[in-house]
Amino acid sequence: MIVLSFIFDPAIWASLLTLTVLEIVLGIDNLIFISIVAGRLPGHLQARARTVGLALALFMRLALLASISWLVGLTAPIFSIGGHGFSWRDLILAGGGLFLLYKGTKEIHEQVEGPHEDEADERNPHKVSFAGVIGQILVLDVVFSLDSVITAVGMADNLWVMSTAVLVAVVIMLFASGTVANFVNRHPSVKMLALSFLLLIGMVLVADGVGFHVPKGFIYAAMGFSVAVEALNLLARRKAKRKG
């Protein structure tokens, strides 16, 4: 009877649908980062890197959900500066944000200026380590998973609802990862826009880590507007190419 009450409870299904959509939206930045970093590898390893990266993201999210009491402890202040208490969550988000700012800036510089001479071998896809790429993905998976799961815990009371939403979102991203990666790599302007998103998200994570909360609705609205403008640019270029 308890199971049936869950199945026929519209509030449960509404919560599951809302949370799944939110997890997909929150996972877009994770997917973009995985696609860009995996693009450093030889072609036959890129799909495997994306799959491993998303599998690690799923494992981390489910592990965090299974240890909610420990997760709640991460939000407890461990020290204070200027009257503001810093928790482990704040430190992880700020550190991840700084890492995103570093990676985004480095990638943009190399897209515009090209790699430095002493980094030319490192930028060669055949010289990049698979383990090194997975290590970078792992670092950001920790940050994005923490942010995602804390949001899920705040929106739903049932563990199975949160776990199902996370599972569905990651499976959808897994199927979409190849398409997203190919599209980003095929269009340099889209890749530059994606890297700009990483800088934006990095700044938001750092701000959140030091106590300045920025509503995610504003961030995703700005990102959506930028994507719409870039889509119009792509259509205009395609139309001009056909005329030419």
Domain positions in the chain are 14-243
The pLDDT assigned to 85 comes to: 82
Q: Is 8 exposed, middle or buried (0-12, 13-18, 19+ CB in 10 A)?
A: exposed
Q: Tell me how far apart the alpha carbons of residues 128 and 141 are, in angstroms, rounded to a whole number.
A: 20
Residue 72: predicted pLDDT = 65
Confidence class for position 116, pLDDT limits 50, 70, 90: low
CA distances from 164 to 61, 168, 186 (A): 11, 6, 33
Dihedral angle sign, alpha carbons of residues 143, 175, 181, 241: negative
Rounded Cα–Cα distance for residues 68 and 162 (Å) = 11
Residue 129: HSE in the Cβ half-sphere, 13 Å Cα cutoff: 6
pLDDT confidence band for 209 (50 / 70 / 90):
confident
Do 146 and 92 form a contact (C-beta atoms < 8 A)?
Answer: yes
What's the mean pLDDT in 160-167?
81
Question: For the chain, what is the largest distance between any 2 Cα atoms, rounded to a whole number of angstroms?
Answer: 68
Whether residue 1 is predicted with pLDDT greater than 50 in this model: the reply is: no
pLDDT band at residue 4 using 50, 70 and 90 as cut-offs: very low
DSSP string, 62-101: HHHHHTHHHHHHTTSEEEEETTEEEEHHHHHHHHHHHHHH
Tokens standing for residue 184: 């980003």
Backbone angles phi, psi at 67, to 5 degrees: -125, 55
Least confident of 20-29, 97-106, 129-138, 192-201: 20-29
Q: What confidence score (pLDDT) does residue 157 get? A: 61
User: What is the model's pLDDT at position 43?
Assistant: 81
